Amino acid sequence: MRMNEIAHTRIRYGFGRIFVLLRREGFTDNHKRVYRIYKACGLNLRTKRPRRSRSAAHRLERLQTKGINQVWSMDFLQDALFNGERFRILAIVDNCSKICHALLVGKSLKGAADVVYLTADGMKLLLAQPDTTKKKGRRDQMLLSLMFECAGRVQEIIDLVPARLNFGKPTLLTLKGKGNKTRIVPLTEKLSIMLKKYMQEYGLLRDQATDYPLFANGRGDKLSRMGITAIMRKYSIKARTVDASLIPTGISPHSLRHSKAMLLQKSEVNIVAIRDFLGHASVTTTEIYARIDNTQKRDALEKTSLLPVSTELPEWQTNRGLLEWLESLGR
């Protein structure tokens, strides 16, 4: 029977998923009849294979305690010297003497992700891709421009409504970020003019449109995360066909936020001001852009260095006794 075949090949599938697959294959029975067959076959009593959680792949073995006062504890250590990865420390501590009897260190589940961003030339190339002769293209260009200029998170842009804009001198945009924290971002005069034209075209300057989504889909609903990601992917692919060197792989809507932060960092803006502009809770989060900028400066200095390369061997390689001792260690 087809239901049994699906249940045995897809161990984690319950009745709902099996019913959808059967309907796709042309079965016309309604869900009540299919569920009666599902129960008659005993499939509702089978033990489904549990999902392997992400933590199981990185789990540290629990240390075994020997004394009655010994307990194990877990802590996290952040390595700020390199890329900000966090390491887990699993230790056995004696409650009475406060002596650590054993220690085990392993990488945590969440390491530091690579920061993918666009240069100024790459950003100009990306913004030139939407077809501004069409209404949808003008919407997409406005969306990408605003995401870059205000360095907004995707959810912050999705939740934007006209009521959060104050067209003054300068124009102020109120963003609601993580933890319902709000921050006010000033917009440039050029972007303010573009935004007012866009809102006038879409009828968002009317009094009754204050709570309408600033960026809507064809049905008038606010854009989703997947919708914005699809827009970003569409124009990044087009831009890559023009100049692949300016558009890195793995680009996402959040890359526009990184791009703005890197541009501010290269313009030598105070890191505290960048923190406030991005809405970070701590300046430690913002320091990742400073580390990336310093790495790029170091690489550029090494490439442009005119110092002669020494061909002499290091002093330790001429020490015969030391070399023989090192070779004996590998035997």
When pLDDT is averaged across residues 2-24 and rounded to a whole number, the result is 77
Asked if 178 and 139 sit in the same domain, the reply is: yes
**pLDDT at position 160:** 92
When pLDDT is averaged across residues 146-154 and rounded to a whole number, the result is 91
Q: Is residue 292 part of a domain?
A: yes
Residue 318 has pLDDT above 60, yes or no: yes
Asked if 125 and 86 sit in the same domain, the reply is: no
Which residues partner with 104 through β-bridges? 90
**CB 19 within 8 Å of CB 31:** yes
Range of the domain at 14: 2-45
Q: Which amino acid makes up residue 1?
A: M
Using pLDDT thresholds of 50, 70 and 90, give the confidence band for residue 81. very low
Q: Is residue 15 part of a domain?
A: yes
When pLDDT is averaged across residues 280-309 and rounded to a whole number, the result is 66
209-225 residue pLDDT tens: 889 999 998 888 899 99
**CB 94 within 8 Å of CB 67:** yes
Determine what percent of the chain is predicted with pLDDT higher than 70: 74
- DSSP result, 62-107: PPPP-STTEEEEEEEEE-TTTT--EEEEEEEEETTT--EEEEEEEE
Using pLDDT thresholds of 50, 70 and 90, give the confidence band for residue 231. very high
Asked if 141 and 290 sit in the same domain, the reply is: yes
Residue 79 has pLDDT above 50, yes or no: no
Using pLDDT thresholds of 50, 70 and 90, give the confidence band for residue 157. very high
- 20 vs 86, higher pLDDT: 20
CATH number of the domain that residue 134 is part of: 1.10.443.10
Q: Which residues of 118-144 are buried (b: 16+ CB within 10 A; e: fewer)?
A: bbeebbebbbebbeeeeeeebbbbbbb
Q: Is residue 319 part of a domain?
A: no
Q: Write down the pTM of the prediction.
A: 0.59
Q: Is residue 307 part of a domain?
A: no
Asked if 22 and 63 sit in the same domain, the reply is: no
Asked if 39 and 138 sit in the same domain, the reply is: no
Q: Is residue 251 part of a domain?
A: yes
- Closest by CA position to 184, among listed 192, 173, 195, 171: 173
3-state secondary structure of 250: coil
Asked if 141 and 194 sit in the same domain, the reply is: yes
**pLDDT at position 268:** 82
Dihedral sign (CA 170, 174, 177, 179): positive
CB 65: neighbour CB atoms within 10 A? 15
**pLDDT at position 177:** 81
Supply 331's token pair. Answer: 């035997």
When pLDDT is averaged across residues 42-46 and rounded to a whole number, the result is 68
Distances (CA, A) of 135 to 125, 192, 199, 237, 325: 20, 18, 12, 21, 75
Q: Is residue 250 part of a domain?
A: yes
Asked if 168 and 93 sit in the same domain, the reply is: no
Residue 19 has pLDDT above 80, yes or no: yes
Asked if 85 and 157 sit in the same domain, the reply is: no
Q: Is residue 317 part of a domain?
A: no
Asked if 162 and 93 sit in the same domain, the reply is: no
3-state secondary structure of 174: strand
Asked if 132 and 74 sit in the same domain, the reply is: no
**pLDDT at position 250:** 84
Asked if 157 and 274 sit in the same domain, the reply is: yes
Residue 229 has pLDDT above 80, yes or no: yes
Q: In angstroms, how far is CA 281 from the centroid of its own chain?
A: 17
**CB 80 within 8 Å of CB 56:** no
The total of structural domains in the chain comes to 3
Residue labelled with tokens 């558009």: 247
166-184 residue pLDDT tens: 888 888 999 988 778 888 8
**pLDDT at position 198:** 93
271-275, long-range: CB < 8 A, 24+ apart: none
Q: Is residue 115 part of a domain?
A: no
Residue 232 has pLDDT above 80, yes or no: yes
Highest mean pLDDT among 64-78, 154-168, 274-288, 291-305: 154-168
Alpha carbon distance, N-terminus to C-terminus of the chain: 63
3-state secondary structure of 213: coil
Using pLDDT thresholds of 50, 70 and 90, give the confidence band for residue 99. confident
Q: In angstroms, how far is CA 100 from the centroid of its own chain?
A: 37
Asked if 182 and 240 sit in the same domain, the reply is: yes
Active-site positions read 153, 178, 254, 257, 280, 289
When pLDDT is averaged across residues 193-213 and rounded to a whole number, the result is 91
Residue 47 has pLDDT above 70, yes or no: no
